[in-house]
Chains A and B, each alone.
Chain A
Amino acid sequence: MGRTLAEKVWDDHVVRHADGEPDLLFIDLHLLHEVTSPQAFDGLRKSGRQVRRLDLTIATEDHNTPTLDIDKPIADPVSRAQLETLRKNCADFGVRLHPLGDVEQGVVHVVGPQLGLTQPGTTVVCGDSHTSTHGAFGALAFGIGTSQVEHVLATQTLPMARPRTMAITVDGELPDGVTAKDLILAIIAKIGTGGGQGYVLEYRGSAIEKLSMEARMTICNMSIEAGARAGMIAPDETTFEYIEGRPHAPQGEDWDAAVAYWKTLRSDEDAVFDAEVVIDADSLSPFVTWGTNPGQGAPLSAQVPDPASYEDASERYAAEKALEYMGLTAGQPLRDIKVDTVFVGSCTNGRIEDLRAAAAIVEGRKVADGVRMLVVPGSARVGLQAVDEGLDTVFKQAGAEWRHAGCSMCLGMNPDQLAPGERSASTSNRNFEGRQGKGGRTHLVSPQVAAATAVLGHLASPADLSDADARTPAGV
């Protein structure tokens, strides 16, 4: 019987298999950041252990880092202490670190791919649930807890139970103005926040094959919001082209050997998935969330749902609680929802393509009165590229704030937070209660919807913009 992509990558990393035990998997790449690693390094110290494979380990600073005044000491002493702890740990153990201010610093899931470290057929882990992002390259990539971080540091392996596989087949073509973000939000709304539990999802089909690497990363990134262990997309020419020439891409004969291997990383025709979901790309439209988990979403053209319409008691109660928290009423058109803040950034939508898309919409327009728009590149490199392309100027002329790289308002561990009751349209991945700041209310959206929303002041898609919104001449 044929094997799925996930099974092939899994099989190629089994160090030890014994019946009745989890497989011991080899880890090709371990990404570290300041939040989930301190207790792991402490554990190594207590046991007198070293980092087994420094050549497969890399660290950066992202969750706590400020996006303003990065040349000054970090104001929050607790954040500063956590970053200093990472710096000390990396120095003590010899781990490569890209700290704040370094040109390779950024959100860990943006940094790995841009360095060319994320490659097809590798196993990638990080103490961060959005590690699923790297699956866009046909890597098996999953988030782990701090105990597992310590385990990988010490052994470069992880004992893991073999996951089940689910095919998510998306055929057809995404209509104009419909993005990878809309697609993944629609998938999560369909299968639910627990729908992927225990599975590795493989996104496939003609609509997926047409997507850029950035778009594929957006999709795989949010696999965790459907509860999945990981999300994957089979590597193809788009993948190879993205990797070629990057600092850690294989070279010469290694490149040829790598590509030959990568081309084998497709689910076999006769492979059997444990579950399958089919989505018609042509039927999709811009999608936004209205509730407090990423599965509580609907097309932008729809209304806030009535909790009474849910048959399942627990879903009904969850919807009631969500509307109460979000300050929304059933039946209210989603387009009428006014926002205070627009956040463009994060490991979901903080790559160059996302910034270009948002910039193209705000160019020659103004952010609505009373709305704050924050644009935070996913990495310092993305920021530099955006500056090269003049995108920072476009954003600033529109009245948006152009910031330095980091996780920023996705989770508000740094000063970029919502105030209580404040409402955002955010290109990030989680609309949990208080995620972006205590009492903050989050609507998850694509970069395009974020930009249109910033201009109009209420949830909107680019199609809602008219020439009248272009209050200043385009093109500078």
Chain B
Amino acid sequence: MAAASVRSRRRPRLGDRAVSFILSGLVIAALAVFFLLPVLAILWRSFDVQGGAGLGNYATTLSDPRIWELIGNSLGMAGLSAIGAVTLSYFYAYALQRTNVVGKSILRMVVMAPLFAPSLIQAQGLIFLLGRNGIFNRFLGFEIDIYGFWGVAIANTLYTFPYAFLILSAALAVADARLYEGAIVMGAKPWKIFRTVTLPSTRYGIAAAIFVAFSLSITDFGNAIVIGGDFSVLATEIYNKVIGQAQFHLGAVIGVVLLVPAALSKLIVGYISKRQHSQVTDKSVALQVRPNRRRDLAYGAYATLIAILFLSIPLIVFFASLVKLWPYNMTLTLEHYAFDVQNGTEPLWNSIGVALATATLGVVAVFIASIVTMKFRTPLSGPISFLSTLPASIPGMVLGLGYVLAFNSLANPLNFLYGTFPLIVLLYIYYNHAQGFLITTTSLKQVSATFDEASTMLGAGAMRTLFKVTLPLLWPTLLGVGVFFFMRAMVSLSAVIFLITPQTQVAAVSVLQLADRGATNQAAAFSVCIMAIVLLMLLIVRGILWLVGARGVTLIR
């Protein structure tokens, strides 16, 4: 019998089922140790009082009127930043999606700048522009006091703008032309159309953007510490409690408090994104932008203004990195790039190494997690999918503190990782796991299941299908995910702030420390280097994708 002889010739292999269970087990174990454990450590520590468990830490913290002042500061600042960022980015996205302004690709690129740099670059730039020794006050005769509430709010508006822009841009990109044509036929004026059609059809996007911007602002630490002056927020308070006073239990309490708005906003965004889908049906007709010169000029002017604002931050930082001593001696020099202060260029190289390792291992981690939730399904698939998307709701700072609490403990057999680069890499991977996982699973869904079935019917096991069919189709996306991990590892500050030691310095933290001790020019040079490395990486990967002809891979998220 032909069939039987074919079968007996085949090499024995590990059963697909066994492979699925082994991989699922590895994924869930890693998520448990490097994500769940640190979060539980924070919770446990916040309830840990002398002689047992209780609400003592909460009572102590919450009875202090200062904490309520900080909560008020945080809510006010983050609320203002969110509204500012969403309002500005809505019209910016509108200009790019619904009008014929010129130079759309450049305009789109420019407002992405904040993603390429440590968040605190906004504060750095604002200080060079509007600070005590900034251009406006020093040379143009203004008397602006930027330090404090307004400085932090403006810096975070700029910082969260691109995130809001990406969401709103996607919301404005889909539109049903039939609604607009209907409105025009009925004689509606542009403003009425905007109020009755455009705004309602993007309301979920607006809500999602507000929540994302809000939770990014309220958990951001870099801008607040650089430009906040005497103005404190919850994020800076954790830093002071933990680094300044070594009061881990109080830091943990504030961490839990910070989890609340972040988790809430994630829940709401999840709820919203589920509803957004049903808006455009397969019957929708794509909207064509009608020519309108006056509208295009108005939006063009607005977009250019915003673009200039976004360019001015990295440019002023770049300029500051080139002058001898801002603002007293403005002679141009490259001396700050010698990095003869602190640890020299070491943190930069460390960061590159950490970022490369994060990119490589991060891609492997999210790829395997995606595979075991979507292709090699086992009873563990559900829990893995849930755990994999959870990190998105944990602020970096809180997860970072969780790592300290979990791995600094001698009771943890993985204690040896504490104070090493591998732990920093792991933190970056699991901090950004949710987004990488979502990108990968979305892309996997687009790889037709028929390919898997065709491969199976031709006699291939799950692993062969994975390596011969799935991976060759998915690698451009995975490269994109790698770039995402690389970028995040280069620029993230708040997640890693508690984990660095003198032996494990990274670049983003160096910027903070340099800025903190007044070496503003060197700090600027460091920021410039981080941006240059991220941009270089983007260019290289873009080039590779262009060479192999892979289209439609989004690198900036």
A and B bind: no
Which residues of B are in contact with A by a Cβ distance under 8 Å? Answer: none
